[in-house]
Chains A and B, each alone.
Chain A
Amino acid sequence: MSLSRKAIRQTLTIARRDFIATVATPMFLFFLLAPLIMASFSLIGGMGASSVAEGAADRERLVVIADAADAPLLKQADERLRTLFSKDGSPAALDIEAPAADPMEQARVALGDRDHDVYAALAGPLDAPHIFYGPGATRSASYLAALADTTVRMRDGREASEPVKIEVQRKSSTIGGQHAAGFMAVFGVFFLTLLLAGQAVGTMAEERSNKVIEVLAAAVPLESVFFGKLIGMFGSAVLFILFWGTIAAQIGHVLPPEAAQAIHQLQPAVGWPMFIALFCLYFTMAYLLLGSVFLSIGAQASTIREIQMLSLPITFTQVGMFALASAGAAHPGGWLAIVSQVFPLSSPYAMAARAANTPGLTWHVVALAWQALWVAVMITIGARWFRRGVLKSGGPRRKKAAIANG
C-alpha cells in the first residue's frame, strides 16, 4: 500500500470514528434542532414584547374637550386625518369629552388618568386651542393641533390660530411605561438567570472530572457543597451584574434625547429604588432556583455532552416560564398573571413584572417567602439526588491485576 493510500485510510478511520461518535448520540438531534430552538426563543420573546405593546396600546388615548355640537365634525376630521398615517404610525384613539366648569383644569386632569395613558389633551375653543401634553408627546400634541385646524376649516372655512402648547409633567407613571418596565423586568431576570446560572452546571462537572467531589463529600455535608457552590457562583453573577449595571446606568447620558426620553417613560409602579431592590431579590431567587436545578443535573452527568443534553430540557422549561411570565406581565391582574406569580419556577419573573405594573409590597413579601421555600426544597432534592447518583461504586475500573505481589 502506498504511503498516500495508507494516510487516506488512516484519516478515514479517524473520521469514521468521530462522525459516528458525534452523530450516533441523542445530543446530535438537539444540535439538528438548534435553529428551531433559537427561532422559538425569538418568537416567544417577540410575542411577549408584542403582547405587552398591544396591552398598552389598548389604553392609549388623546382627549379633546369640546362642545357636543363640534363632536361629529371632530370625529369626521379625525377619520380623515388618520387615513394619512400607516397602521403602525397611527395616533392614539380619540376621546371627546364635554367641557366641565374649568376645561383647562379638566385637560390637565385627563393627562393624569390612571386607567388610560393620555398623551395629550386639547381644551378651549377649537380656533384658539390650548394643548396639554405629557413628556415626549410632541407628536400627539401636533396631531391635536392639526385636528383642531382641520375641524375649524371644515366648520368655518378658515384656519385655526396657532395653538398654545403646554408640556405637563406626569405625577404617575404611564401604563405603557409600566408594561414596558414589566416586560423588561421579566426579560432581565430571565436573561441574567439563564446566562449566569448555566455556569453552575459546569462547576459541578469540574468537580466530577477532577474527582475532587469525593474529597468534598467526605469532608463536608453535600448540602454545604451544593449551597457553597451556589453562593460562590452567585457572587460571580453579582459581580457581572454590578459591572454591566454600572455601564448601563451611564448609557442614559450618551443616548440621543428621544431614546433617553423613552427610557424615562419606563416608570415601575413601586418606584425605581424599590423596583431595583425587588429586581435584585427576584434575580437572587431565580438564580438559586435555576442554579440548584442545574447543579443537580451537573452532579448526575459525567461528561460535558451529557450535561448539555440534560440542560436543554431545563432551558426549554425556563423559556416556557419566561413566556408565561411575559404573558402575565401584559395583563396584570389576569388569571395568567396570578398563575405565573404562584408557580415556583415562573414566580420570580412574574413578581418582578408585578413590581413594575402594580404598586404595593405585601405580595412581594409573601412571594419572596414562597420562593425561598422552593429554593430550600430544590437544594435539598438536588443534594439527595446527587448523593444517590454519585459515589455509587469504587469509580471507573482500571486495568490492573486483581492481586499484585510487588
Chain B
Amino acid sequence: MANEPAASATGLVKKFSGRRVVDGVDLTVPAGMIYGVLGPNGAGKTTTLRMMLGIIEPDDGDRMLLGNDAPREVGDRVGYLPEERGLYPAMKAKEAIAFMGALRGLDWKTGRARAIEMLEDAGLGHAADEKIRKLSKGMAQLVQLLGSIVHRPDLLVLDEPFSGLDPVNQEKLEKLIRAERDRGATVIFSTHIMAHAERLCDRLAIIAGGKRRFEGTVADARGTLPFKAHYVPHHDDGGIKALLPNDAERADDGWRFTLPEEGIEALLVRLIDAGYGIAGLSIERPSLHDAFVRIVGREALERALAEEPA
C-alpha cells in the first residue's frame, strides 16, 4: 500500500534490570522520508531502533517494518549503521562493503563491483584495496555506511551517523542520506546534534526518559515555541526593564523576549516615547535546539549531562 508507513512502533517497552529504558514509545515513519529520532544521551533511542530492527525483542508493544511485524523477515531490505562502528580491521575496504552486502543477501561479485563504484563516488576510490586498519576513522565510517547501503535497501537506519565525523565528512554523509531518500529509500537516523536534524529531517520524533515527547515536522517542533524579539535600545538604564515583557533577558548588547501576543508595535511605541529609541530590532524564529530543550526539559538535559562519565 502506498500510504503504509515504512516503519512503526506502538507502545514499545524494554526493561533492563527492572528499569524501563523504553517506556511505551510510539513512532510512525512515513515511507520515502528522512525521519530523525532525537533525544539526549540515554534517552532510549538506540534501544528503540534495535527493537524496531529485531536485534532485541521488546518486552511489550508492537512494531512493523516494511509491512512485516517480524523485522528479521525483511532484513534483506534494511540497511543498518549501528552507533558503535565495527569493521574487521584486516579486511579491504571493498571486501568489507561486499561482506556487509552478502550478509543482506547480495552476491559477492555484485557487492564488490558496487563497492568500487560507491567508493569512487564518495571520493574514496583510492582506498578500495586498502585494509580497514589503514583508513582514518572518518574513512572507515564512510566505508561502513556504504556497506549498509550496498544492497540498496528500502529502509536505512543510522544510529548517530554523524558522531566522530569531521565537517567535510559530515557534509558527505548528509548528501548521501539525501541521495538515499531521493532514490526512494526511507531513512531513519538518530542524533543528538540538532543542526543535522534541522537540515535533513522531513519528520522527527523526540525521545527522552524512554518516552516519546514529540512527533512531527521540524516546523511543528519549532511551532511549540513563540517567536522571540531581539531589541537593542539607543541607551540603556535600569528603567527599561519595567517596559519590557516579564521574560525579557539581557542578550548581547540588548534584550531578548517573547514576542507579545498582541504584536510588538505598541511596545515599540512605548519604548520610543520613553526615549530609549530603536538601535536594532530582529524577530527570531525559535530554533530546533530551543524546541528540543523545551520539549525535553532543561532539567532532563542537565541530568543526562551529569550522568556522563568524566
Binding site for B on A (CB under 8 A): 206-207, 210-221, 387, 391-406
**Secondary structure type dominating chain A contacts:** loop
- In the complex, which of the residues B41, B103, B194 contacts A400, with contact meaning CB atoms closer than 8 Å? B41
State whether B309 touches A402 (Cβ < 8 A).
Answer: no
Considering the complex, which residues of chain B in the window 133-174 have a beta carbon less than 8 Å from any beta carbon of chain A?
144, 147, 163
Contacts of B309 in A (CB 8 A): 397, 399
Q: Given A397-B308, A402-B41, does the pair A391, B50 have CB atoms closer than 8 Å?
A: yes
CA distance A213 to B83 in the complex (A): 12
Tell me if B55 is interfacial: C-beta within 8 Å of chain A.
yes
Judge whether B301 and A405 touch: CB under 8 Å.
Answer: no
Stretch at the interface among B4-12, B242-250, B270-278, B287-295: B287-295
A392 to B21, CA, bound (A): 10
List residues of chain B with CB within 8 A of the CB of A215: 80, 82, 86, 100, 103, 144, 147
- In the bound complex, do residue B84 and residue A214 qualify as a contact, i.e. CB atoms below 8 Å apart? yes
B84, A211: Cβ atoms closer than 8 Å: yes
CA–CA, A30 to B291, complex, Å?
Answer: 56
Residues in B212-263 with C-beta less than 8 Å from chain A: none
Question: Shortest beta-carbon distance, B96 to chain A, in Å?
Answer: 10
Known: A393-B46, A397-B309, A402-B192. Contact between A219 and B75, CB under 8 A?
A: yes
Question: Are A402 and B305 closer than 8 Å at their CB atoms?
Answer: yes
Rounded to whole angstroms, the CA-CA distance of A405 and B194 in the bound complex is: 5
A218-B82, A400-B308 known; A394+B301 contact, CB < 8 A: no
Report Cα–Cα, A221/B54, bound state, in Å: 10
What 8 pairs between A and B have smallest CB-CB spacing? A211-B86, A394-B46, A219-B103, A212-B86, A402-B304, A402-B40, A211-B84, A214-B82
Inter-chain CA distance A46–B186, complex, in Å, is 66
> Once the chains are docked, how many angstroms separate the CA of A8 from the CA of B147?
50
Q: How many A-B residue pairs have CB under 8 A?
A: 101
List B residues 19-58 near A (Cβ within 8 Å): 21, 40-42, 45-47, 50, 53, 55-56
B255 CB to nearest A CB, Å: 22
Q: Indicate whether B280 reaches chain A with its CB closer than 8 angstroms.
A: no
A403 contacts B100, CB within 8 Å? no
Instruction: Contact check, B84 vs A399: say whether CB atoms are below 8 A apart.
Output: no
Q: Given contacts A212-B86, A397-B308, is CB(A406)–CB(B193) below 8 Å?
A: yes
19 contacts between A and B (CB under 8 A): A211-B82, A212-B88, A214-B86, A215-B82, A218-B53, A218-B75, A219-B75, A219-B80, A395-B83, A397-B307, A397-B309, A398-B163, A399-B308, A399-B309, A400-B41, A401-B192, A402-B304, A403-B289, A403-B296
Interface centre among A207, A220, A405 (most CB of B within 10 A): A405
Cβ 8 A contact of A216, one of B103, B296, B310: B103
Q: B16: which of A212, A214, A221, A392 is its contact (CB, 8 Å)?
A: A392
> B195 touching A406 by the CB < 8 A rule?
yes
Which of A219, A394, A403, A406 sits near B83, CB closer than 8 Å? A394
A221 to B115, CA, bound (A): 24
- Whether B47 pairs with A393 at a CB distance below 8 angstroms is yes
Which residues of B sit under 8 angstroms from A219, Cβ to Cβ?
Answer: 75, 80, 100, 103-104
With a cutoff of 8 Å between Cβ atoms, the chain B residues found around residue A387 in the complex are 56
Residues of B within 8 A of A396 (CB): 84
What's the Cα separation between A218 and B84 when bound, in Å?
A: 13
A404 near B194 with CB under 8 A, answer: yes
In the bound assembly, the distance between CA atoms of A218 and B72 in angstroms comes to: 8
Residues in B with CB closer than 8 Å to A399 are 308-310
A283 shortest CB reach to chain B, Å: 28
B89 within 8 Å of A (CB atoms): yes
Chain B min CB distance to A218 (Å): 4
Once the chains are docked, how many angstroms separate the CA of A355 from the CA of B40? 63
Of A207, A216, A394, A405, which contacts B45 at CB under 8 A? A394
A211 touches B55 (CB 8 A): no
* Cβ contacts under 8 Å, B195 to chain A: 405-406
Closest chain-A Cβ to B228's Cβ sits at a distance in Å of 16
| B87 at the A interface (CB under 8 A) | yes
Min CB gap B32→A, angstroms = 22
B85 CB within 8 Å of chain A: yes
Please, how many angstroms separate the alpha-carbon atoms of A397 and B21 in the complex?
A: 15
- Assess whether B85 is in contact with A394, with CB atoms less than 8 Å apart: no
Within 58-95 of B, Cβ neighbours of A (below 8 Å) are at 72, 75, 78, 80, 82-89
Contact A395 B40 (CB under 8 A): no
